[in-house]
Amino acid sequence: MSQLIRQACQLRFEAHEFVEFFGVISPLDEETCSYSYEVERDGLRLLFTVFPLDGGVYTSIYRSGIPEPIVTSRLEGCTHSRFVDRGTLRCLEIGRPERPTSETSGPLVWGLRLFVKPHFRVEFISENSRS
């Protein structure tokens, strides 16, 4: 992604951190200006797509043999992403803080927390569930 477009993105993230977390490389889809990460584990397939320009984050989990996702989430307007250690597990937190800020360590009041190891787990973040 060019530097000029990168500066216009609502959601800022480092692609190399996503590659490390998901264990797969996602080239930029220039048509949709998105990155998609697809991981399979234990009969489940996780599809995680990020649209940096408008902050869209789409998450779907599929079970083998079932065409529709068994879990789906479509977040719009995400501004922050970070990787956090929660106990012995590493997760991706993505969403929005209470007030606009460039600080990345403040609590998110809305979004999701995604784990991919040792298995898939999605936790939704809302003001009432901050922890």
Interval 98-119: pLDDT, tens: 776 666 667 788 999 999 999 9
For the chain, residues with pLDDT lower than 70 are 1-8, 100-105, 127-131
Range of the domain at 69: 3-129
Q: Is the peptide bond before 107 cis (omega within 30 degrees of 0)?
A: no
| Domains: count for the chain | 1
Phi, psi of 122 (to 5 degrees): -120, 130
Query: Do the Cβ atoms of 23 and 37 come closer than 8 Å?
Result: no
Question: What pTM was estimated for this model as a whole?
Answer: 0.87
